[in-house]
Structure 1
Amino acid sequence: MATALDYKNIPHSHRLPVSHREVQRTFPKLSRQSLVSLAQQWLSKKNRDFCRPYLLSDRADEDDEELYEPAQSYEALQEIYRELAGRKGGRREVLDRILEGDWRKGVSMYQLATAEIQYLLDHPNALRWTAKRLTKIPNARSPVTDMEVTNDSDHLPRFQAQTFMSNLAKELTPLMKAHYLITRIKTSPVTILRVYIHDSPYSNEASLVIDSNSTDSAKAVFFVWPNGSPFVYSSLATLTGQVVGDDGRHLRDIVQQAIPKAFSRPSARYQLTNTNFTTKSLDALLTYRGPGKSNAAAGGWSIFQDHSFSQNALDFITTQKGDGQDKASGNKSNTNGESKAGPGRPKRPLDNTESPGTKRRKEVAAGRFGTSAQPNDGQGLERLEVRIDDPFPSTSDDSNMTHLDGDTSNIDAQAANRMRRGRPSLLDRTAEDLEEIQNEDGWVPNVRVTFQGTHVFAGIRQLVEEGIVDGEKMPGWMTGEAGVTIGAVREGRIRSKEGVPGV
């Protein structure tokens, strides 16, 4: 007899066996402190219905092979974990206690979700995030993709968690079975939504026990909403270095397309617009795509958005009085220091003077980068990739020959892109771009520049301070002013399409 399909989502209380691939992948990565904190959270009164441990009353008969004696009550188990939190020890001690002792019968979907979120908070650079912008659509014929923030009070929809989750489930339930957990982080101004995608027409525990044989199938998708910001960050929950298959990306796209529909109502429709910004750092996302950062005021303009002045920045007037007082106090301290020198050979003063050229380069770097691009600010971008769309400089004598060569190179570039394996790059020229290039007077080569490192813009700032890069002639996109990680450059500026800077 065939089992009828159900139209329910996976509840918090459904359990996975401790030997399940998702459980064994997530829990061993957590630290001892995080494991103890999670166990105490699961044992609180509000979570006991879907985080039930194995207690003494659940034991049917005496088992001589038990490694851990089951606790008599929730209070006794809470006391055990308070004792574990108060003393030092290894991570394995707490991990074995959880998986082989107190939750030996299985880990609930709520426990797995909170464990993955805890790992994300402990390692904010573990996943690669893509920023999208939630924009309002006045009508179906003219979608609004303007990056500028307006004074319209209806620019952002009201975020009510229960209503949003209900609307999201209505969109996704006919397509897939999923487990949802949305939580607001106390230590950071963000709200996290985790969606565990279950590739099955059933939502019972028996279907969850069946483990997938594919090692590259990412089942969990994370979405982050910064408080008071029109942006949404999305990422696949994968292992470090794991290759995400097409199925995982397709399922993520389905969930991503359902998010603006869950926000929409009959009088207001929304869509997610690409911002050409991808990074592994959540702190960098909050800096470039966080609350009040939607106008791409980065680079040298960061002094205005970070409130670096004690007064209105438009009324700021530079004075030389402070510099004179600092110099006078410095000379006075040096004089006092020399008078207190002891007998014997005088100490050789440290030579901290900088050459005028070095001072000048640092002043130029401070003017171009402002308060941003500091080596240890925790806001580093790992990769910046641009395509140069400027025509190759040529003389009037060989302009005709250059134009012919340009047509041939564009054809060769198209053939090379078709022969290349893997997913196409966002920097690949579209048919419209190729048509625009053919109308140019000169040859436009396919030149791409990639900066890669732990903190790209901090590295460029150091190159300016060392005199390797001319800070006065350097284009603005090299300072991060455009606020994108991938884009096309024309005449020294990041190009924009439909109001969105990038490609």
Structure 2
Amino acid sequence: MAPISVPIASRLPSSLRIAPTNAAVTRVLSRLSRPALLSLALDWLDEGNLSLTAPYLKRQNDDYDDDDEDDGDFYPPATSLEALQEHYTNLQARKGSKREVLDRILEGDWRHGLSLYQLAMADLQHLYDHPTSQKWTAFQIVPLTAKADGEDSEATASSTVNKVSLVVPRFHPSSFLRNLQAQILPDIKVHYNFDRHKHLPLLLLRIFILDSPYNTSLAAASTPQAPGDTSSTTRPVANIESSRTVYIAFPDASPFVYLSSAQSSAGERAPGSSTVGVNGGATSLRSLVVEAIPKALSQPRERYALKPTNLTTRNLSELLQRRGAGRTNTAGGGWGIYADEKTTIESPLSTALPETVASRLEGKKRGRPSKKETSRTKRPLSPGTQRNQQQAKRRKQVATARFGLSAKMGDGCGVERVDIVMQDPFPGGRRFDPKEQNETEGEPMEVDGEPSQAGPPVTDRRRSKGGRRNQIDAVLAHDEEEAEEEEAKERDAARRAAGEDQDEEVDGEGEKEESTWRPRVAFTFHGPHVFAGIRKLVEAGVIDGEKMPGWMTGEEGVTVGAVRHGRIRGHKGSGMP
């Protein structure tokens, strides 16, 4: 009689094996290179991992003769672990194809299946080999103010952020996983795997979510064919095909967490598969994890929430630079020289010239010229060449003063995309007239001397086509309701403090501000290192470094924001803690 599998609320065990013929297993291993596959196979054969990564070996039993079973096998099983380790070591010493190693793993040594722990190790190996393969978003852990009105304080905890408290939650991996598992939906199963990053001071948590109520081999087994389907006797279950993987990075001694975007293990949703999460998409799954993290970190009478910092990048080093445990969290751009312990600047109030700051940052040592230089005859430069050299030197000094130690090519702290929208009124004090807009909305406009019918705004046209939604539009739309609530609270407080006359004056200013014309202008910067590119443009004279706003130097530490009154606004503020 077949064993009965009962749905339970526990997580998936690391020893659960998945068939090597599964498309998800082949996809995970195919992303690795040949040296990475060989190194991974030797890690599986390590004595500390054998309980979860044991290979298929030849049976050493006198009463059982399996020569007939292994006869004709293209990859005969090894007799011992030592022989198998020696074989993979020899493969590292000689050249060969990746397909040879992949077939040896799937059809030979691990023909009985790969455990979830092995898949987690393969995924993490790919992350180490390709550091920019995941897109990370930084969240700040903020404490909440709890208040009780005759009831339990835990049940009536307020969602107001406590800006005075400096309490940081204590993180313990086992307790965090136990609390996180309590927040997971009962109709899905999750596998967790912690790993210490090899090069960066952070702890990685891989969350593998499977759409199945079972935590046994039934979750990854094969199901019988449907009635009337004569194509095959069995068909692979769609649970693995619809799985999702999310990474959470916990930096050391920092009140921030980094969350990656949810990715499917099979690339696309398999036919006939059910959904994962509330709406079945990667966005809903990621939202589920975001809501569960602060609850897992919270304790009785200590509640926390995650606050977006509007910093998104594929570079973990940049996240540690801007949202880590160092002193550069609120000292970006040119202010970073005061956070660097190597610099000898006494105070930010010192009236150091840009040339002096540049010499200290670049480590220039002014010494006596050598005899070879003094003996060399110098040709007099033309006035135009001398003027160009002085201007180039001046631009480099301005760039050093504005950017400081940051935004340099090759520093490993670059962002790939920056989205900025301008919300400042148009210069000149032009007023906005809704009637005038309605009258001219349908009037034709001339394009190259020919009349053309005026169309809807750019934002409406993009939404009507159903294309990819801009990231900044999504962020601003998400913050619009919360911003309106805060503005309403501030107006109520101003009305109570200043009286009716002052309130009318404030309303008048608001009407004046709303009547000012604000054109829709958005900037999107692309590149491997956006701020390093802007620094190069300042040194080349394309951008005026003296009049350039501070957010173009990266000192605000945000990649998505809105500029209003000359200052960038991230998530309800500058984005800084």
TM-score of the pair, normalised by structure 1: 0.84
Alignment partner, residue 121 of structure 2: 114
Question: Structure 1 counterpart of 2:16, which letter?
Answer: H
User: CA contact under 8 A between 1:391 and 1:440: conserved in structure 2?
Assistant: no
Computed over aligned residues only, the root mean square deviation of the Cα atoms, in angstroms, reads 3.8
Alignment partner, residue 83 of structure 1: 90
Distance (Å, rounded) in 2 between the aligned partners of 1:495 and 1:387: 10
Question: Structure 1 counterpart of 2:111, which letter?
Answer: R
Alignment partner, residue 320 of structure 2: 286
Greater mean deviation of Cα atoms: 479-488 or 306-315? 306-315
Alignment partner, residue 265 of structure 1: 299
Distance (Å, rounded) in 2 between the aligned partners of 1:445 and 1:305: 38
Alignment partner, residue 195 of structure 1: 207
* Residues 348 and 204 of structure 1: CA distance in aligned 2, closer, same or farther (over 3 Å): farther
Alignment partner, residue 341 of structure 1: none
* Residue aligned with 2:70, SS: coil
Alignment partner, residue 49 of structure 1: 51
Alignment partner, residue 457 of structure 1: 531
Shift, 1:258, TM fit: 1.2
1:69 to 73, 76, 79: 76
Question: Structure 1 counterpart of 2:315, which letter?
Answer: S
1:235 aligns to 2:260 (yes or no):
yes
Deviations 1:210-263 (A, max 9, x none): 556599955111111111111111113548996899522212221221111111
* Residues 377 and 238 of structure 1: CA distance in aligned 2, closer, same or farther (over 3 Å): same
Greater mean deviation of Cα atoms: 311-320 or 174-183? 311-320
Deviations 1:99-147 (A, max 9, x none): 221111111100000100110011000111111111111323253275x
Shift, 1:69, TM fit: 2.2
2:103 to 84, 91, 96: 96
* Residue aligned with 1:41, SS: helix
Greater mean deviation of Cα atoms: 176-185 or 300-309? 300-309
* Residues 79 and 251 of structure 1: CA distance in aligned 2, closer, same or farther (over 3 Å): same
Distance (Å, rounded) in 2 between the aligned partners of 1:184 and 1:78: 25
Question: Structure 1 counterpart of 2:70, which letter?
Answer: D
Distance (Å, rounded) in 2 between the aligned partners of 1:221 and 1:474: 38
Larger Cα-atom Rg: 2
* Residues 25 and 417 of structure 1: CA distance in aligned 2, closer, same or farther (over 3 Å): same
* Residue aligned with 1:444, SS: coil
1:222 aligns to 2:256 (yes or no):
no
* Residues 381 and 119 of structure 1: CA distance in aligned 2, closer, same or farther (over 3 Å): same
1:184 aligns to 2:258 (yes or no):
no
Alignment partner, residue 275 of structure 1: 309
Distance (Å, rounded) in 2 between the aligned partners of 1:72 and 1:316: 74
* Residue aligned with 1:10, SS: coil
Distance (Å, rounded) in 2 between the aligned partners of 1:496 and 1:394: 27
* Residues 144 and 427 of structure 1: CA distance in aligned 2, closer, same or farther (over 3 Å): closer
* Residue aligned with 1:201, SS: coil
Q: Which runs of 5+ in 1 are unaligned?
A: 339-345
User: CA contact under 8 A between 1:387 and 1:448: conserved in structure 2?
Assistant: yes
Question: Structure 1 counterpart of 2:551, which letter?
Answer: W
Alignment partner, residue 444 of structure 2: none
Question: Structure 2 counterpart of 1:330, which letter?
Answer: P
Q: How many residues align?
A: 484
Question: Structure 1 counterpart of 2:136, which letter?
Answer: W
1:399 aligns to 2:431 (yes or no):
yes
Alignment partner, residue 160 of structure 2: 143
Shift, 1:177, TM fit: 0.6
* Residues 496 and 379 of structure 1: CA distance in aligned 2, closer, same or farther (over 3 Å): closer
Question: Structure 2 counterpart of 1:466, which letter?
Answer: A
Distance (Å, rounded) in 1 between the aligned partners of 2:241 and 2:548: 42
User: CA contact under 8 A between 2:331 and 2:339: conserved in structure 1?
Assistant: yes
Alignment partner, residue 301 of structure 1: 335
* Residue aligned with 1:222, SS: strand
2:39 to 37, 40, 45: 37
Distance (Å, rounded) in 1 between the aligned partners of 2:214 and 2:348: 61
* Residues 496 and 233 of structure 1: CA distance in aligned 2, closer, same or farther (over 3 Å): closer
Greater mean deviation of Cα atoms: 458-467 or 293-302? 293-302
1:334 to 369, 373, 387: 373
Give % identity: 41
Distance (Å, rounded) in 2 between the aligned partners of 1:384 and 1:499: 17
Distance (Å, rounded) in 2 between the aligned partners of 1:447 and 1:368: 25
Question: Structure 2 counterpart of 1:220, which letter?
Answer: T
* Residue aligned with 1:376, SS: coil
* Residue aligned with 1:425, SS: helix
* Residues 392 and 36 of structure 1: CA distance in aligned 2, closer, same or farther (over 3 Å): same
* Residues 347 and 100 of structure 1: CA distance in aligned 2, closer, same or farther (over 3 Å): farther
Distance (Å, rounded) in 2 between the aligned partners of 1:403 and 1:495: 31
Alignment partner, residue 11 of structure 2: 9
Shift, 1:20, TM fit: 1.3
Q: Which runs of 5+ in 2 are unaligned?
A: 147-156, 223-235, 270-278, 442-455, 488-509
1:364 aligns to 2:398 (yes or no):
yes
TM-score of the pair, normalised by structure 2: 0.74
Shift, 1:312, TM fit: 5.2
Shift, 1:270, TM fit: 1.2
* Residue aligned with 1:207, SS: helix
User: CA contact under 8 A between 1:127 and 1:236: conserved in structure 2?
Assistant: yes
Distance (Å, rounded) in 1 between the aligned partners of 2:570 and 2:365: 46
* Residue aligned with 2:59, SS: helix
Question: Structure 2 counterpart of 1:172, which letter?
Answer: I
User: CA contact under 8 A between 2:20 and 2:114: conserved in structure 1?
Assistant: yes
Distance (Å, rounded) in 2 between the aligned partners of 1:405 and 1:486: 30
User: CA contact under 8 A between 2:191 and 2:207: conserved in structure 1?
Assistant: yes
* Residue aligned with 1:195, SS: strand
